[in-house]
Amino acid sequence: MNEKEICASSCSGCAACMSICPKSAITMQENEKGFLYPVIDDKACIDCKLCMKTCNTKPDKSEIKNTYLLKIKDHVQHMISQSGGAFSAVSDIILNEQGIIFGVKYDDEYEAEFGMASNIFERDLMHGLKYMQAKVNYTYRDVENALKTRKVLFVGTPCQVGGLKKYLKNRNVSENNLVTVDIVCHGVPSVLIWRQILKEAKSNVGDIKQVICRDELSTGWGDSLSSFYGRSKYSTKHFIRIFGSNLALRESCYKCEYTTLERCGDITIADAWGVEKLDSDFLDSRGVSLLLINTQKGAEILQKMKDSVELKLVDINNYAQKNMTEPSTPHRNIDEFWSDYETKDFSYIIRKYAENNLLLNYKYIIKRGIKAICKRK
């Protein structure tokens, strides 16, 4: 199998190819921008092409049936959740039925990776956003094993839910015991930026004991502060500013095929942005979730969790964010950003791209002006 065939620019890094390979001939390795891509060991590859077949499999998608605002009633769960506690409410149902949860936690280096949880303590490690692509490792194989005996909840970005479904389809595994939740996703930024920010934090507070990627306890729901706790606390807006400006997202995110109102999860969760204007009676400073019920399985879960949450039926047309209908738009200075990243200090990157965005806009305005004058001539 030719490595290039499998490493197209549309590769989302879902790792379905690595997971399906009968010879474990594929590994996910970081490219120069910090994103994981499949690399094939030619000596181990038997050219069965199962990786390509799996990659090209279309995961089932469903139209949204109903849309709700959601707040979990349990105060502690609400506080430790990123938004309204939708993940807690759904995962409680699966744990009550002795099921197992697959979601994203931090590894020892404070990078995101999938893990599993069969009790509340393990599940609570999955709370909180990690704005980076979580390492899937061999999670899909673990899901397959767990499905033989238990209910399974898998929560991930749409491409990861899609990756799992592609894998299970090609392994002929029944999805009867599986519930999937996809999170509305803006795209994943490079882990290289996160590592630099961590380094900066360590130089300020020493060994890091806790990280909150989007720290709302300090400033309020939706704020873009990241906090790092060591011998003291260090907070910065730089990471989320670079993430939000679309300078350093994975290439495939700019043409993501999952940014549609047809969803690959039984349930979709998001932040209910706009609730303060549209349904101010439901606003809560701890955060409000948007919950999309996409399948009959999703509707059954909703029925079971009704007592533990406050719900309000709303119109998806009022709450559909850009990333539910189209991919994030690439920033016009992506090439300049990566060239600067390779050649300059990180402090320069911060000054130019996270603090002093005016500089970028200034150059852009001049360029546009010159182009317009040339056109007229």
Ligand X SMILES: Cc1cc2nc3c(=O)[nH]c(=O)nc-3n(C[C@H](O)[C@H](O)[C@H](O)COP(=O)(O)OP(=O)(O)OC[C@H]3O[C@@H](n4cnc5c(N)ncnc54)[C@H](O)[C@@H]3O)c2cc1C
Query: Which residues here bind ligand X, judged by CB under 6 A?
Result: 81-88, 103-104, 112, 126-132, 134, 155-157, 183-186, 188, 269-271, 273, 289, 321, 323
* Residues facing residue 113 across a β-bridge: 105, 135
Least separation in angstroms between residue 28's CB and ligand X is 15
Q: Which is nearer to ligand X, 269 or 302 (CB)?
A: 269
Judged by beta carbon, residue 1 or residue 67, the one nearer ligand X is 67
- Least separation in angstroms between CB 187 and ligand X: 7
Least spacing, CB of residue 13 vs ligand X, in Å:
11
SS3 content of the chain, % helix, strand, coil (to 5): 40, 20, 40
Q: Which is nearer to ligand X, 85 or 162 (CB)?
A: 85
C-beta closer to ligand X: residue 34 or 128: 128
Beta carbons within 8 Å of 192's beta carbon, 6+ residues apart:
33, 34, 248, 341
Which residues are 112's β-sheet partners? Answer: 106
Dihedral pair phi/psi, residue 62, rounded to 5°: -130, 150
Contact 262, 58 (CB under 8 A): no
CB 284 within 8 A of CB 84: yes
Return d(Cα 90, Cα 95) in angstroms, integer.
Answer: 9
Find the shortest distance in angstroms from Cβ 297 to ligand X.
17
Sequence-separated (6 or more) residues with CB below 8 Å from residue 240: 131, 213, 214, 224, 225, 226
In the complex, the smallest distance separating the C-beta of residue 361 from ligand X, rounded to whole angstroms, is 23
Least separation in angstroms between residue 254's CB and ligand X is 14
Buried b (16+ CB within 10 A) or exposed e, 16-43: bbbbbbeeebbebeeeebbbbbbbbeee
Closer CB to ligand X, 194 or 234, in the complex: 194
The least CB distance from residue 259 to ligand X, in Å, is 9
90, 153 Cβ separation under 8 angstroms: yes
Q: Cβ–Cβ contacts within 10 Å for residue 199, how many?
A: 11
CB-CB contact of 189 with 337 (8 Å): no
Comparison of 40 and 319: residue with beta carbon closer to ligand X: 319
Shorter beta-carbon distance to ligand X: residue 204 or 260? 260
User: How far is 185 from 269, CA to CA, in rounded Å?
Assistant: 10
- Specify which residues 183 forms β-bridges with: 269
Q: Which is nearer to ligand X, 88 or 333 (CB)?
A: 88
d(CA 273, CA 232): 32
User: Which residue is closest to ligand X by CB?
Assistant: 103
Output the smallest distance, CB 309 to ligand X, in A. 11
Which of 191/360 has CB closer to ligand X? 191
Least distance to ligand X, CB of residue 344, Å: 26
